[in-house]
């Protein structure tokens, strides 16, 4: 990769992150929503209660996104680093969701602080797939902290990771994979086999970013008067017991950093899960919801800074402006 191309990618990542901070997700016309509509339409053709059908469905959609990203980046590279920056910035803005996550978490904290449980229940679907009517105030607080933790990795750290490694193609394929996992990766009877490929691909794509997130959570723990040591201890002690190989890492590290206890009965639309205990201390209270949002924002900023710096330096370990 040329120095100018790396520089364009780095600038694009920074601009895309700033765009997300300023504008968050657009309420209408979001490209991710368009991708979801296309995926749902394709599913009517490709669906079969088999893993093979799910592999084909997932491969077609993610392959198309990869080709789109490669073509866009190649066309931009021919026109210079400014165009590379523009394409990377657009893909980064599309892929990130950290600001919307923080705003939703803060709105949830406001509802709970005001004692408006019904209003808080109305926001639950914006964060996770749990049954809102099964949640009381304590259950909503726990669900919010767990969802803020998991989505800090999914909506921010992982896209930036793949943007730093793969530019626009990496960003688009990752966001597509994460969207497919949300659409068909859950374990409903209809999607148990068809959604297998989407779920496993998402697990692989998030494996390293989740662990980077855990390290960043520990590093940023003092922002919320938390302990880096407690975050790492909870991660090492509790993460492996979680059913997800990635969510367990970030939820446990958040629990340790915040000094709270996560886990317990978790009601989804199609099943009840008894989640293992993560962290020590009391269950999250209303104040801990906003603390989790502040911690998430700190991790998001740190991840963006690292992604930009790593992309600018490049493989050689020298700044992109250095001559070969």
For 5-15, how does the pLDDT look when each residue is reduced to its tens digit (9 = 90+)? 899 999 999 99
- Mean pLDDT, rounded, of the chain: 94
pLDDT at site 188: 84
Confidence of residue 271 (pLDDT cuts 50, 70, 90): confident
The answer to whether 230 and 256 are in contact (CB under 8 A) is yes
| Residues whose CB falls within 8 Å of the CB of residue 164, separated by 6 or more in sequence, listed in order | 9, 13, 307, 308, 310, 311
The answer to whether 276 and 263 are in contact (CB under 8 A) is yes
pLDDT in tens, 120-167: 999 999 998 888 988 999 999 999 999 999 999 999 999 999 999 999
Question: What is the Cβ-side half-sphere exposure of residue 69, based on CA atoms within 13 angstroms?
Answer: 27
pLDDT at site 315: 60
Q: How far is residue 76 from each of residues 5, 161, 191, 224, measured CA to CA in Å?
A: 9, 21, 39, 41
Token pair listed for 28? 């209408």
Which range (177-191, 242-256, 282-296) has the least confidence?
177-191
Confidence of residue 321 (pLDDT cuts 50, 70, 90): very low
* Opening angle at CA 213, ends 207 and 217, nearest 5: 150
Q: Which residue has the higher pLDDT, 271 or 84?
A: 84
- 3-state SS class at 285: coil
Give the pLDDT mean for 288-310: 98
Residue 319 has pLDDT above 70, yes or no: no
- Name the pTM for this structure: 0.94
Which H or E run includes 266? strand 262-267
Give the pLDDT mean for 231-254: 96
pLDDT at site 270: 65
Residue 324 has pLDDT above 80, yes or no: no
Give the pLDDT mean for 36-64: 98
Token pair listed for 303? 């991840």
pLDDT at site 287: 97
């Amino acid at each position: 990769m040329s120095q100018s191309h790396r520089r364009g990618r780095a600038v694009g990542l920074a601009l895309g992150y700033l765009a997300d901070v300023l504008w968050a997700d657009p309420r209408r016309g979001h490209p991710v929503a368009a991708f979801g509509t296309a995926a749902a339409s394709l599913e009517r053709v490709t669906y079969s209660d088999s893993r093979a059908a799910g592999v084909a469905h997932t491969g077609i959609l993610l392959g198309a996104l990869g080709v789109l990203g490669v073509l866009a980046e190649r066309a931009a590279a021919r026109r210079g680093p400014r165009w590379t920056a523009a394409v990377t910035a657009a893909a980064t803005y599309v892929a990130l969701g950290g600001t919307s996550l923080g705003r939703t978490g803060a709105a949830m904290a406001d509802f709970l602080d005001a004692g408006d449980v019904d209003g808080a229940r109305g926001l639950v679907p914006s964060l996770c797939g749990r049954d809102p009517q099964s949640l009381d105030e304590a259950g909503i607080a726990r669900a919010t902290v767990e969802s803020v933790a998991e989505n800090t990795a999914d909506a921010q750290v992982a896209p930036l990771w793949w943007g730093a490694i793969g530019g626009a193609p990496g960003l688009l394929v990752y966001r597509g994979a994460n969207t497919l996992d949300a659409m068909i990766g859950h374990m409903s009877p209809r999607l148990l086999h068809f959604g297998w490929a989407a779920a496993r691909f998402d697990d692989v794509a998030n494996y390293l970013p989740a662990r980077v997130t855990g390290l960043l959570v520990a590093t940023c723990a003092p922002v919320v008067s938390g302990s880096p040591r407690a975050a790492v201890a909870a991660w090492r002690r509790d993460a492996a017991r979680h059913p997800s190989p990635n969510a367990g890492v970030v939820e446990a590290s958040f629990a340790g950093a915040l000094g709270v206890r996560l886990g317990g009965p978790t009601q989804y639309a199609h099943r009840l899960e008894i989640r293992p205990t993560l962290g020590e201390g009391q269950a999250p209270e209303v104040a801990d919801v906003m603390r989790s949002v502040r911690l998430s924002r700190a991790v998001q900023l740190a991840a963006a800074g690292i992604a930009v710096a790593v992309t600018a330096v490049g493989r050689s370990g020298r700044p992109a402006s250095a001559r070969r």
